[in-house]
Structure 1
């Protein structure tokens, strides 16, 4: 029999098939409850003498042995996420919960000359994508910020254990089977060991590997073909938070063109905080997400993030139960802006990576007041002059007018605003320029003065 093609769903195993993992534990398969990527997900039980109950606490993911994603996921759990390691971390950080599914075992199996790889895991509930779809494509702001904080706990753990996730998205976030308050970051098929044995991967762009990951959320580094990093994980999470909060992203209409998506993400990061703040929706500002992005922008490729600072930027006072009910107000960007608030939050976000959030905002407010006071007129006007001044050259005025124009809030049109400005400059150069007045009139003549005689 010809070997199965890679990256295809496996042929289902028989009902009640018995698997044995590497630690000699036996598992009985129940019905298929889902599929993802290139694998099937079965209900499973350690009680092999009776059919698998509908409320079993375990599932088993099955793929062909030749496929890569499940192998990568297994390596992550075996190296970085053993149950005892997670428990030790939780005690050290005083965490009641850490959203990484529990790994219970793995192994190989064979049926009808086909070889399978399998992994036993905790059974989880619905994914967050279904929750978003049922709530109009958005989540309430408090819920988004809480999810961000919890995911930062997960990312800090896996980053400290030499791995990055590289594919954070709502479809890979699972609610607990019996407790919807517990949210797990699942599916480590694209996880990457960015720092093997403590040595960070070098910064090396590779266009052949460009645009890896889920196009809506993948990092700018991934668009360039860089190996995944901690900075990339944080940027991916930021794009997710913005999407969950607003119901859309500025590059949604470009998703079939990865290069345009990359350019739109670069524009968003280059024009912070306005580029994020102008994407606010009714009743939910994006100030915290903009501050989050401003901090992520300060990170170099190999930098270690300050996770507590990021959690504080997302709102240290956000507590309570997760509310997945439909948010009020329409989705989509809003023109409402609060520059003063954003300026203060931006200053906090740009703080040094190792610094904690500023202890008080009083100094910021005083600094704000000093900056906002107008300069007294005596210091901007010259003393009265008796000699007439020549008129400014007209060819300078178009450039001055252009520099005073407010920046457009619509930063994501298909025509780049910089191109439009270049076209305007070219038009100004082509227009005939009036002759400056100083070349048409001589100096002013006093009432008693007589014109000089010119000898021809």
Structure 2
């Protein structure tokens, strides 16, 4: 390669990756949050965290599709909370159990074929509902699929797709957004699970 081109290549700027959001410091158990309807919610212990926030312990589509349940979290409440002159947004949803990634590893990284088929069907149902409403999830992976939790124990026959931190609308007024690549947004999400479009920076912020 000619020397001039090598120098230009060495000095070229690398594309910027997406900024990683900084998570807040944990809240003390017992902290009271007030939602938009003025209802109080008392925080329990922190039980996990996603890429965009901390997780604390605190239907017509399904009937139309004749489903026993739909693997999408139910929204319960939302609001904001002030701490040390900073405002934090929060959302309350039902509690869930362990994630499929941990279960898979605990099973020697091998599932029975029947289990794989059942997981696939439940996720297809969840994605069909999400897509029907004009959104894409954009971060599908085993650690974002959780077991149901009810009456103090995990429900081994129920799985839910969670963590909508990267979800975005792909339709505006029923029309699909135009295709546009943006290197500044490339590789958004968990790198080994992102789609070809996500690697090209398509989908999240273009209009």
Aligning the two structures, in what range does the TM-score lie when normalised by the shorter sequence? 0.7 to 0.9
Bigger fraction of residues in strand: 2
From 66, 85, 94, the equivalent of 1:113 is 85
Q: CA–CA distance in 1 between the matches of 2:111 and 2:131?
A: 27
Bigger fraction of residues in helix: 1
The answer on 1:168 being equivalent to 2:140 is yes
Task: Give the alignment of 1:50-199 within 5 angstroms.
Answer: 87-177=59-149, 178-199=154-175
Checking the alignment, whether the CA contact within 8 Å between 1:31 and 1:43 is kept in structure 2 is: yes
**TM-score, scaled to structure 2:** 0.82
State the 4+ residue runs in structure 1 displaced beyond 4 angstroms: none
Q: CA–CA distance in 1 between the matches of 2:29 and 2:199?
A: 43
2:176 is paired with a residue whose SS is coil
Name the structure 2 match of 1:225. 201
Q: CA–CA distance in 2 between the matches of 1:137 and 1:94?
A: 32
Q: Residue 211 of structure 1: CA displacement?
A: 2.2
Q: CA–CA distance in 2 between the matches of 1:10 and 1:208?
A: 25
Checking the alignment, whether the CA contact within 8 Å between 1:175 and 1:184 is kept in structure 2 is: yes
Q: Which runs of 5+ in 1 are unaligned?
A: 1-5, 45-86, 229-456
Q: Residue 206 of structure 1: CA displacement?
A: 2.2
Q: Residue 35 of structure 1: CA displacement?
A: 2.0
- CA RMSD across the alignment: 1.5
Q: CA–CA distance in 1 between the matches of 2:48 and 2:184?
A: 33
**Residues 210 and 12 of structure 1: is their aligned pair in 2 closer, same or farther, counting only changes over 3 Å?**
closer
Q: Residue 137 of structure 1: CA displacement?
A: 2.0
The answer on 1:210 being equivalent to 2:182 is no
From 5, 16, 19, the equivalent of 2:33 is 19
Q: Residue 209 of structure 1: CA displacement?
A: 2.2
More relative contact order, 1 or 2 (CA 8 Å, 6+ apart): 2
**Residues 207 and 12 of structure 1: is their aligned pair in 2 closer, same or farther, counting only changes over 3 Å?**
closer
Checking the alignment, whether the CA contact within 8 Å between 1:207 and 1:224 is kept in structure 2 is: yes
Q: Residue 183 of structure 1: CA displacement?
A: 0.2
How many residue pairs were aligned? Answer: 181
Larger radius of gyration between Structure 1 and Structure 2: 1
Q: Which runs of 5+ in 2 are unaligned?
A: 1-19
